[in-house]
Structure formats: C-alpha cells, structure tokens
Amino acid sequence: MQDLHNKRIVLGMSGGIACYKSADLVRRLVERGAHVDVVMTDAATRFITPVTMQAVSGHPVYTDQWDARIANNMPHIDVSRGADAILVAPASADFMAKLVHGRADDLLSLLCLARACPLLVAPAMNREMWLAAPTQRNVAQLRADGVSILGPGNGQQACGETGDGRMLEPMECVTELIAFFQPKPLKGKRVLITAGPTIEAIDPVRVITNRSSGKTGYALARAAWEAGAQVTLISGPTALDQPYGVTRTVVDSAQQMHDAVMAHVAQQDLFISVAAVADWRVANASSEKLKKDGKGAPNIEFAPNPDILATVAAMPNGPWCVGFAAETENLAQYAEEKRKRKGIAMLVGNLAQHVMDADHTTVSIFDDAGEHRLATSSKQDVARQLIEAIATRMPAVIR
Ligand code: C5P
C-alpha cells in the first residue's frame, strides 16, 4: 500500500551497528511511495557504505557539509527544505546529545538544526548507554523540544547483552512514520475492539465457527492506534500478527470473548465490535472425541451465546459503541434493524459475500442520518475513514 505516497523523507544515519537495518528501512519506505534522501555521518559510513544506501534509495547520498553537487553549496538547507520529515535511524547516544545542545559540526546535525519539518529519532545503543542518566536527560529534553522518539526496542543486542536500546525493526519504524502522518482525532482515548471469529467446541478436536479473517478488525485496531488511541484488541483465532502498538488478548469461544471484553471494558471510551461472534454454542459439547460408532451423526444441541455488543451498549456509563453487520442481502434493512435492536448510534454494514478474506472492502455507515456508503478501498484505508467517521460522531466528552 502506498501509505507514504508523495512523502519526502530525509533518513539520517549516525554511527551504530544498527546501520545494517537502515538499508532495509529505506527499501520499505520506497516501497510505500516515499522519496528518501539519505544523509550519513562519518561514523555511519564505517558501518555501511554510501554506495549501498544510494542503491536502495535510488538517490545520491549526502555525507559532507561541503558538497559541490548542490548549486549553492548549502546541503543543510537544500536537503531539508522539501522534506516532510527527518528520521534519524539509527540515532546514537552521541548524536542525541548533539541534538540537545544544538551542535552543528557535521551535515546531519546541521540539517537537524536548520530543519523546517518534524524530526523523529530511533535510538540505537547498548542498554547501559540507554539507561545512563545523561542519555535519559537528553531523551526527556528532545521530547520537550517536540522531537518524536521511536522505541527503542528491547532484546538481544549486538554486544551480547540483553535489554532496552535496540533500534526498532525497519517495519516498526515504517509503521511509526506512517502513523506520524495520520491525524490524531482519538488522542488520549481508550478503545476496545473485538475481531476475528469465535470457535465453539463440539468435542476436543471439532469446532463450529464463523468465517472471518479478522482483517477488518485488525485494520481498525491499527487505525485507532494511528489516530492516537490506546487500543486493546480482543481477538478470536486468526492468522494475523499482533498489530504494532496494540495490546492483544486472544480467545477461542464467544463466552471467552465476552469475559475478556468485560474484564477490559471499564475506563474505555469507545467499543468497536467487529468480531464475527458465533450466535450459538454447543450445549452438549463432549469432553472426549466423539467416535464414528455406526449409530449415525451426533445430535448437536445449541444454546445461545451472550450478545457482547448489546451487553456493553446497555451498560450505564459504558463506552460509546459501534457495531458491524455482514449480510448476504437486504443490507440496509437488516443493518438498520440491528442498530436499533442493539441500542447503538452507529453500525457499519457490508455484503458478506464480496469481502470475506479479501484485502478490499465496501462498507456503509448507518446512523440516525441514514446510510452513508464509502468507496471501495483497501481494508486499512476504509478502517482509517471509519475511525475518522467514528471520531466525528462520538460525543465530545465521553468521560
Ligand atoms: O447479532 P448480530 O450477529 O446480527 O450482530 C452483529 C454485531 O453484533 C457485530 O458488531 C458483532 O460483533 C456483535 N455481536 C456480539 N455478540 C454476539 C453476536 C454479535 O457482540 N453474540
């Protein structure tokens, strides 16, 4: 997806072994439509060559404040002026210290000081260097100066130690950068989302389930996080990775999903119920595998599952609720009936047969004003539009 289409990014690299990740980072940025200009400190060029960075970015690399290729010989002004953001990845402890003090004795620090665009840094260093008091003071000062700090990650370090200080992985940096450019209508809000199917056991090896890839719910979780929310995702079994920045609990049955939602619902501002919850569970589920003993098919009895959305919608002081409905026909009629029955202000409906498992979807929003259809687009793009629509419909002060 061209999430960074038309964005001009200056990728600054200071010295650190994490420079090896920056080559992949540039490729991922370019794949998403960004124009990337790479600026390297002298130390960075000891870890990876400008030739590599030129090859992956498709543009000449800048390493020197004295650069005769630039007509006015002012690369620090020229390179930063057209940029939408500067991302320094990796950002060494020394480079962050320079930023704090406004030092400008090489091209990258000059460029950061002379910038007219946002600055993001992805720290990369040994855990003791990260925890050191001067580094922590510098990080706090950079935040206070409006610089975005990405990560750092936690784990095994090149030096053999384990802890905080790893540079985020390339795709995590890309996800952070894409989110940085998104509007923040849910800043500070807490959002609970259900996604995926539930599975209801017949016996320990057989289940009844609903068809659901979980893609729409996961896309909404990501879009809500991008919009500034703190997101908790309660997911049935899916093949999808945990969305970056989102807290996820995985459950099997509708009853487990209900219990997980109830455990998390307090203090939530918004509940988006996307999960394809099984309407019935097997009342006479067997604790042992049913055998084909020649007596014919087993007699399965059903009992209704709790309606999670209706329960949350009926809570006094509960979160603002959004429901989903996948129908095979009469979408407008069924969606509107469902919205009224569940007692919710907004419901998102789609025709199930066209979007199951697909990466694109066509949805309509149903609310008191009627039906509002969104153009067919990728599930991530639709999710961003839905989050925007939800944010404009939510009451201004939720709690
Ligand atoms: O009741 P129905 O399945 O037609 O409505 C769909 C909406 O209700 C979806 O938002 C779904 O997540 C939610 N739902 C629920 N608990 C159920 C059944 C559906 O939360 N047991």
29: left (phi over 0), alpha (psi -120 to 50) or beta: alpha
Mean local confidence (pLDDT), 64-75: 82
> If pLDDT is split at 50, 70 and 90, which confidence band does 395 have?
confident
> Residue 319: how many CB atoms within 10 A of its CB?
23
Which helix (H) or strand (E) segment holds residue 341: the answer is helix 331-342
214 lines ligand 1 (CB under 6 A): no
Give the pLDDT confidence of 248-270 residue by residue, as tens digits. 999 999 999 999 999 999 999 99
Domain holding 25, by residue range, is: 8-181
- 176 in the same domain as 232: no
User: Of 181, 216, 250, which residue sits at a domain end?
Assistant: 181
- 152 in the same domain as 56: yes
pLDDT, the chain, mean = 95
At residue 399, the pLDDT reads 45
- 117 in the same domain as 20: yes
- Ligand 1, residues 200, 309, 333, 348: which to mutate, most atoms within 8 A of Cβ? 309
User: Of 148, 181, 214, which residue sits at a domain end?
Assistant: 181
- 197 in the same domain as 115: no
> If pLDDT is split at 50, 70 and 90, which confidence band does 397 have?
low
Round to whole Å and give the CA distance between 225 and 219.
Answer: 10
At residue 11, the pLDDT reads 98
Burial of 292 from C-beta contacts in 10 A (0-12 / 13-18 / 19+):
exposed
159 has catalytic annotation: yes
Q: How far is the CA of 273 from the centre of ligand 1 (A)?
A: 7
- Ligand 1, residues 212, 235, 264, 273: which to mutate, most atoms within 8 A of Cβ? 273
Ligand 1, atom 2, residue with closest C-alpha: 325
Which whole-number Å values give the CA distances from 298 to 30, 40, 153, 206, 318, in the listed order? 56, 69, 51, 12, 41
Q: What would you report as the CA-atom Rg of the chain, rounded to the nearest whole angstrom?
A: 25
> Residue 306: how many CB atoms within 10 A of its CB?
16
47: left (phi over 0), alpha (psi -120 to 50) or beta: alpha
- 249 in the same domain as 162: no
> If pLDDT is split at 50, 70 and 90, which confidence band does 398 have?
low
The answer to whether position 399 is within a domain reads no
- Max Cα-Cα span within the chain: 89
Closest to 36 measured CA to CA, from 115, 92, 107, 89: 89
85 lines ligand 1 (CB under 6 A): no
Measured in degrees and rounded to the nearest 5, phi and psi for residue 203 equal -150, -175
Give the pLDDT confidence of 298-345 residue by residue, as tens digits. 899 999 999 999 999 999 999 999 999 999 999 999 999 999 999 999
